[in-house]
Amino acid sequence: MECHVCDICHRKGADFWSDDESSPVTTRRDVSGVPLQGGYIAKQCPVRAQNDAIVPAEPVPVSPVLQRRFDLGVEFEEEVVEDLLDLFPDATVIEAGSQEGEAATVAAMRAGAKLILNGRLPSDPVGRRVGKPDLIVAARGATGYRAVDVKHHLTLEVATPGANGIPDLCAELARPAFEDAHLDPEWFARKRKDDLLQLAHYQRMLEAAGLAAADGRYGGIVGVEGRIVWFDLDAPVWRTPSSTGKQKVRSTMEVYDFEFDFRLDIVAVAREHERDRSVELLVVPVRVSECDECPWWDWCRPQLEAGSGDVSLLPRIGWREWKIHREHGVTDRAELASLDWETARLVSAGVDVRELMEAAKECAPGTPLAEVPEMSRRPAQLEKLAAAGVATAGDAARLDARTAAYSGASVGALHDQIDMARAALGSEPVYRRRGVEEVVVPRADVEVDVDMENVEDGVYLWGALLTDRSGEPADAGYRAFATWAPLTVEEQVRNFLEFWDWLMGVRAETLTAGRSFKAYCYHEGAENRYLRSLGLEAGIEEEVEAFITSDEWVDVRQVSDSQLITGTGMGLKVVAPLAGFSWEVEDPGGGESMLWYDAAVGAESEEEREEARRWLLTYNRGDVEATLAIRDLLERKSGSIAPIESCHASP
């Protein structure tokens, strides 16, 4: 099988595949000297795997937010293990260290143990793997075992109508075997790639040891709901790029095999580089979501920000797009900004501009495109060209060949990426998107801005800012529907219903008075997830669904993003300062709020708890006020925001 990793050496290599329909790229290097790796490496940035091997600088210490996540994860694992020991006092608990633990685990499995806690799977020296799943569960009625991990986060989401989610195949802790799992049509399993890649790692280790269940590759996750959600690791659920430029749907096992093997290559080359500096490293930094919590971010960031800045600094440009740009000689934002927008729009529309320009060279300038060889058989492309004012061979010749080279590259909305690069380098902080003459903001007589605050266990706060734009009723202002009690499902539902009844009461009163009503959030994904799940638990799921799919529920981020463009994203903490808004609390952010929540419910003194609760309420009030401020700004400056057309390409 031809190896395509070599096509991306010195680039970012994850998620690239061979042309074979089912097989990922295999390891090309001698990895026998690579230290045995846990499953975590398959789900981390490849550059991090490289930097972990060569240690190019002093790593950044773990942040308090990240350390909190680690600590709570360990505590949650311990709680689940305690619950299981209460249910299964005869479960096998492995307490020995690595080598002794492996031997004890294998002995328990050979003896037919039904449930093993804290086990260590036999090391896999050929595959270069080590692994320690939280639970090892025997296949009931057959030989072999399956791995289960405990994760301190949600594993389920409401099965919304028409959505194509993963069926919820759940087992209760009291009956943990896969064979006892059942489908619940009201829920989907949350597809978290990190979790599933970890399970695939354990699956490969069980197979290498000859201890895997024979009837299918399944792994389980215990989340905060307290159930085991079982996943079919052979199910095709991940859309991945291929060397053909098209996407294919692959299984978790396929994705894991590629990701893990690729990182073994990276570490092997890094070790060669340490011995011989003439050996070049395989990957270079690329901005990804993991960067903010990576210990090597201070090492990678200056390299990415040098000059006009790497293209991956732009929103929504990931590894695949980064690689395509690099293959076309575009490595920074200035080079991307210099591409031709009109040509890019045709490329994004699926027109093969490169082939068109080549064919047009052989024709007289006035030749209609319908008479240009190859184009007569492409009526859909001719229609798109005509709409763009490209009607003759001469028009085609005036398009930009450098931009046309992207034809068929599957880079996505290339024209939008060009505009983002221009916005990032432009003199204004924000621009109107092309074709937007005036920013339109949905408004109402009575408006309610909503923001939810949650931790891993669920929602503890629904904040609401009521504004009456036709007057000033006595009850206008900020309200907090908060609970500081343990976040059981019952307590979350109680608090949610208090908020929901109030919101629906305001809505009903407003409509009865003959006035218009709208509620607003910023980035509806999180709010909608909990509105749906708590609505389902409360038995009002149809009422909730009807509201959040109506035009009375407005996502201000979606409104902004559809009409405005920046080179830095459209997050609340980015856009609100453009409206002159600032938060009263220091370091406002979701991570910081979780630290304050821990103090709000767990600090030793009442004074400390009250201080933390005040911080959280002030922070939440700031979020809803910021959403209103953005709306007011957009309406006030609707036509005065500079159009992106005024931001020209860099020379």
Query: pLDDT: is 648 or 55 the higher one?
Result: 55
Query: pLDDT: is 175 or 246 the higher one?
Result: 175
pLDDT in tens, 557-588: 999 999 999 999 999 999 999 889 999 999 89
- CB contact set of 579 (below 8 Å; sequence gap of 6+): 626, 629, 630, 632, 633
Averaged confidence pLDDT in the chain: 91
Per-residue pLDDT band for 550 (boundaries 50, 70, 90) equals very high
Residue with token string 């008075």 = 513
Tokens representing 611 are 């201080």
| Domains parsed from the chain with CATH numbers | 1-306 (no CATH), 313-425 (no CATH), 446-636 (3.30.420)
Per-residue confidence (pLDDT) for residue 8, from 0 to 100: 37
Per-residue confidence (pLDDT) for residue 167, from 0 to 100: 85
Going by the DSSP 8-state scheme, the letter that residue 281 receives in this structure is P
Q: What backbone phi and psi angles, to 5 degrees, belong to 308?
A: -85, -5
Per-residue confidence (pLDDT) for residue 20, from 0 to 100: 39
What DSSP string runs through 9-60? TTS--TT---SSSSPPPPP-S--TTSPPB-THHHHS-HHHHHHHHH--SPPP
pLDDT in tens, 216-262: 999 999 999 999 999 999 999 998 876 555 678 999 999 999 999 99
- CB contact set of 374 (below 8 Å; sequence gap of 6+): 355, 356, 359
Share of the chain above pLDDT 90, in %: 81
Instruction: Give the mean pLDDT of 621-642.
Output: 92
Per-residue pLDDT band for 164 (boundaries 50, 70, 90) equals confident
Reduced DSSP (H G I as helix, E B as strand, rest coil) percent helix, strand, coil of the chain, to 5:
45, 15, 40
Per-residue confidence (pLDDT) for residue 14, from 0 to 100: 40
pLDDT in tens, 90-115: 999 998 777 899 999 999 999 999 99
* Distance separating alpha carbons of residues 126 and 44, to the nearest angstrom: 21
Per-residue pLDDT band for 336 (boundaries 50, 70, 90) equals very high
